Structure 1
């Protein structure tokens, strides 16, 4: 697993196939949810911080709406692609657990379960504190998270998925440690380079947190107006599908 003293660089190995594995429709859905929960409540042209921005697909869509965007990711490979996808955004190489920004942003977003890669309650608290400090007063924080109560039964069943492209073949195999609430994704990738297929094996770890623990952690940091939305039922992503993620929305309060 990732050392708590090191930036998580695991996604460098799979950055070039991230957009192949995740359909562009998923990013449009993320923007639709952000629109419902955040954009109507911040000024036009506001400055938005995309925590765990990946390849910049959501940043690109926000830029087209006229917002300023700063993205942060721990993967240099992801950011290299993000700079191509959203050249007008600012991208920073850092880790959710360690970054330190002054109060700058009207809103912070984090999609695709980025904070599940933070594997301890203490480090999660650090990440939430960093977000709180980076927000302007009355700023909004919205993030998507895989929750223990939504995922545990599904993650206990070893599942796999994969894909085939002209120059890439990959398979993801999932396993779950119920004692420590850790999901493990083992990725095997074959990439065609200079006429030869090269193999890469990489493991990724995600922590499942219960809803109550996340809510308490947010309130402990100082966030108020904490609301929790079911991605499928409340936000209409796919009402016929059982949710695995929830969206938390909260505010940094005004000073009295």
Structure 2
């Protein structure tokens, strides 16, 4: 399944990203208010959702990976989360005050029509005046094409086993799609215990591309930032900043 976070992928993700970066977390927390209804699609293992809960916010979430949600539930057993794809999600109209999608995860929707449908669904789920904050990867984040798989990360599991990620890269200029297939391998010494392939793909946004989509689906105000301290993004920021951040008002 494309972009699916399986058990080995989830274990490595937790080892490499045990907590949300403070500057990124602060950006998303800056829009949250007491008494609001908040929701995080693509919440993963909860490295952002759990800090929201710990601060007393009314927040729920959704992810298509059972493995990631199981990790979230270990951290916050009472968290209100559901296992579903964004395509399956059917929120009531005008239900939320604030929605957020972190870590460039909106770029996982590589098809323009699919991304447009997600944005429309988010827009419809927000109350008038509600805020949607998110990030996307840009063409500045493009990885050089590689001939074959190379080890990109290696961690020790709690059991003392070696978990390795091998990746390769190919970029399609016509569609601005970054193909990053990977293979997770679990070793006990030199003995391979298990492997897990992942067909990872992201869309890398060019200048003005996301702004046009947001206007098209009906957001009344759109602000783009090039950093978590909300420095306004220049029109061609996608050529220099690997991530662009957006604040949109319904």
TM-score, with length taken from structure 1: 0.81
Q: Deviation of residue 213 (structure 1)?
A: 2.3
Q: TM-score w.r.t. structure 2 length?
A: 0.83
Cα contact 1:68–1:89 (8 A) shared by 2: no
Count of matched residue pairs: 232
What are the ranges of 5 or more consecutive residues in structure 1 without an aligned counterpart?
Answer: 3-7, 236-241
TM-aligned CA distance change 1:23 to 1:231, over 3 Å: farther
User: Which protein has the bigger helix share?
Assistant: 1
Task: Deviation per CA, 1:17-47: give whole Å up to 9, x if none.
Answer: 2211325253x332111134x13xxx31322
How far has the Cα of 1:131 moved from its partner?
A: 0.6
Shift of 1:160: 6.1
1:155 is matched with 143
Distance 1:46-1:88 versus aligned 2 partners, 3 A rule: farther
Q: Secondary structure at the match of 2:70?
A: helix
- After TM superposition, the structure 1 stretch with the greater mean CA deviation from structure 2, 82-91 or 51-60, is 82-91
Q: Report the CA distance between 1:156 and its aligned residue.
A: 3.3
> Which of 225, 242, 246 is the equivalent residue of 1:248?
246
Q: Distance in 2 between matches of 1:250 and 1:78?
A: 27
Consecutive unaligned residues in structure 2, runs of 5 or more: 232-239
Superposition RMSD in Å: 2.5
- C-alpha distance in structure 1 between counterparts of 2:3 and 2:137, whole Å: 21
- Given that 1:21 and 1:163 are in contact with CA atoms closer than 8 Å, whether structure 2 keeps it comes out as no
What SS does the aligned partner of 2:164 have?
strand
Alignment partner, residue 212 of structure 1: 208
- Between 1 and 2, higher relative CO (CA 8 Å, sep ≥ 6) is seen in 2
Q: 1:190 to 1:96 in 2, by over 3 A?
A: same
Say which of 155, 172, 178 aligns to 1:164: 155
Query: Are 1:185 and 2:162 counterparts?
Result: no
The alpha-carbon distance between structure 1 residues 234 and 140, as it changes in their structure 2 partners (threshold 3 A), is: closer
Say if 2:12 and 2:155, in contact at 8 Å, map to a contact too: no
**Closer/same/farther in 2, CA of residues 9 and 230 from structure 1, 3 Å limit:** closer
